Structure formats: structure tokens, C-alpha cells
Amino acid sequence: MEKKDLSNKAPTPEQEPYYEEALNEMDSGVRRPGIYAKALADSLGDKAKVDSIYLEYRAQSLMEEAERIAEEERIAEEKRIAEEERIAEEERIAEEKRIAEEERIEYLIAESERIAEDKRIESLIAEAEKKPDLNWSLAVQIGLFIPILVVIIILISTFTVFE
């Protein structure tokens, strides 16, 4: 534990609660043996200075403990936020996968409907090819009839001219 030189300085408002807690501990007879031993060694046996040195060390110890707890809480908060972000990312990915799967299913349904429609059209074409086409045969009949009629007219007009 690094000793801060706090001698001849009034504590800041942020430090006051730590000095107060250290003093309350001392007044109630509670002392941390390790810190008390260090204060006793640093006082060079001067019993009058031991309590003031102990008070400085204990206040410093409380401040460092508060800083450590604050750091642990900060780290825990960062971990909590990172975990929330990880979960949110997993949920986002799961949602993207769900949407992609829905789109794939919609595509497959549309594709199967298209294939079914293509088969229905092919079936209708096949049926139509099996049946004689009355329109076609009429067209053929008319197509043959007109040239025959033209030939007859030509022959008639030729015979009429020679008569």
C-alpha cells in the first residue's frame, strides 16, 4: 500500500467521510491490527503519534477500498453492458435469420405456385394439341377454297371471252 503524504493538509469534502469513519472505528475500540502495527512502527514508538498516524493510514485504506469497490462496480457495469450488447446482437442475428427464413419460404411457395401454373398451362396445351382445331381446319378449307374459286372464275371468264 503506497503511503500518501497527507500531513498538514485538510481533508477534501470527498475525504471527510473516510476520516470520520476511521475516527468512529478508533473511538469504538476497533482497530485493524496490520494498519495499527504499521502506525506503531512509523511512530518510532511515540505512543502520542500512533493514533494520529493510524487515523491517516486507516482513512487512506478506506479511500483505497472505496476506489477498489468503485472500480469493481465500473468493471461489473461494463461487463453488464457488454453482455446486454451481446444478447441484443444475438437477438438481431436471430431476427435476421427468421426474416431470411420467412423470405425463403415465401420464395419457395411462389416458385412452387409458378411451377404448378406452368404445368397447368402445359397440360392445357397438350389437351389442345390432341383435339382437332376447328378454326385451323376452317382456315385450311377457306385457304384451299379461295384459290380454287379464283381458278374457276378465271376459267369462266376465259370461256366467256372466247364465246
Q: How many CB atoms lie within 10 A of CB 11?
A: 15
Q: Provide the pLDDT confidence category of residue 49 given band limits of 50, 70 and 90.
A: very high
Report which of residues 130 and 100 the model is more confident about.
100
What average pLDDT does the segment 16-20 reach?
92
Q: Name the least confident of 46-55, 62-71, 138-147, 149-158.
A: 138-147
Length of the chain in terms of residues written: 163
Rounded Cα distance, 139 and 157, in Å: 27
pTM recorded for the entire structure? 0.53
8 Å CB contact between 51 and 26? yes
Q: Is 56 exposed, middle or buried (0-12, 13-18, 19+ CB in 10 A)?
A: buried
Q: How many CB atoms lie within 10 A of CB 26?
A: 15
Q: Taking 50 as the threshold, does the pLDDT of residue 1 lie above it?
A: no
